[in-house]
Amino acid sequence: MTTTTPPAATALPADRGEQSAAAVAKRKLSSPWASLAAILIAVLWTLPTFGLLVSSFRPERAIKTTGWWTFFSNPTLTMDNYRDVLDSESGAGLGSYFVNSLVITIPSVIIPLTLATIAAYAFAWIKFPGRNILFLVIFALQIVPLQVTLIPLLTLYVDAGLANTFWTIWLSHSIFGLPLAIYLLHNFMREVPATLLEAARVDGAGHVAIFFRVLLPLLRPALAAFGIFQFLWVWNDLLVALTFAGGGDKVAPITVALANLSGTRGTAWHLLSAGAFVSIIVPVTIFLLLQRYFVRGLLAGSVKG
């Protein structure tokens, strides 16, 4: 987990006139060459995904003998690959791993989000001895690579009899997500004018009432931003799941199943292509729907990796 603060980037793109520096720079670079370069990058960035997507709908035999680009001269479509990869009787059984991914991800977003909101509130709006040093420590914890924590944590889980359960994964993802979440939410909370909180306090509202009535409505974008971060992070995670979930379909998420499939049946492209898109569809949908919040979160603070 890492974090960094882009200062110049905190302002969201505002509506401006035609004379941005980039626009000027572009004009000379400009026209045919600039467009060509942009299109080239866009194609390079899209084509690999597109090729696999097309392949996932082609019959197994066709995938193995001809390139996906021949699809357009000889189009045959099938859903067999998706049926095979999801079904646990005859195929790779990705369906139950998909459910595991959902079961893992939802609490792993809710728990750190809630705890971090409460902690960030304490840091932002309550004065107490040790506040600055504690906040600094949490801030610094963001740079600890997960790798450093895995084996001792695994030993703790085994000793507690929790090994290979959802509980270890929920707990781990929640812990790993907390420092970034606290840091991000704290920054947002500090921006709320103190007078708003003072007014509520004079009215006799306690901390809980102040939080729900005054802060929560204002914090919604920040909560959404971190929620999406954490969702993508947890859904796409491989390392934590490999370490704590074991290999079977009882707990392991879809990323683990896909990585194993790629290792054991690396040339079964009809399964790999369909499997990849089953795993991609959820984060991409969330991402497209909530892109606005995601970008805002990116610009406001940080990225973990």
Partner 1 sequence: MLTAETNTAKIGLMLAAILLFAAVVGIMLFLATLFRGRRADRWVAYAYLTPTLLMLAVGLVYPGVRTIYQSFFDAAGNAFIGLDNYKTIFTDGDQLTVLRNTVFWVVVTPFVATAVGLLYAILVDKSKFESAAKALIFLPMAISFVGASIIWKFVYEYRPDQGNVKQIGLLNQVLVWLGGSPQQWLVDSPLNTFLLIVVMIWIQAGFAMTVLSAAIKAIPDDIVEAARLDGVTPWGMFRFVTLPAIRPAVVVVLTTIGIGTLKVFDIVRTMTGGQFNTSVIANEFYSQSFRSDNQGLGAALAVLLFLLVIPIVVYNIRQLRRSEAL
Residues between 201 and 240 that touch partner 1 (CB under 8 A): 206-208, 232, 235-239
- DSSP code at position 7: S
* Cα–Cα distance measured from residue 226 to residue 109, given in angstroms and rounded to the nearest whole number: 9
Q: Which is nearer to partner 1, 143 or 217 (CB)?
A: 143
Determine if 149 is a binding residue for partner 1 (CB under 8 A): yes
What would the DSSP string read from start to end of 115-130? HHHHHHHHHHH---TT
Q: Which position has the token pair 């809980």?
A: 208
Which one of 27-35, 71-79, 186-194, 214-222 is the stretch in contact with partner 1 (CB under 8 A)? 27-35
Query: Residues with Cβ < 8 Å from 218, sequence gap 6 or more?
Result: 192
Determine if 79 is a binding residue for partner 1 (CB under 8 A): no
Query: Residues with Cβ < 8 Å from 173, sequence gap 6 or more?
Result: 104, 108, 112, 230, 233, 234, 237, 240
Q: Which is nearer to partner 1, 44 or 193 (CB)?
A: 44
Residues 242-281, one symbol each (x = binds partner 1 by CB under 8 A, - = not), give xx------xx---x--xx--xx--x--x--xx-xx--xx-
3-state secondary structure of 206: coil
Which of positions 31-50 make contact with partner 1 (CB under 8 A)? 34-35, 37-38, 41-42, 45-49
Which one of 71-79, 172-180, 183-191, 215-223 is the stretch in contact with partner 1 (CB under 8 A)? 172-180
Smallest gap from Cβ 220 to partner 1, in A, equals 19
* Cα–Cα distance measured from residue 212 to residue 227, given in angstroms and rounded to the nearest whole number: 18
Determine if 193 is a binding residue for partner 1 (CB under 8 A): no
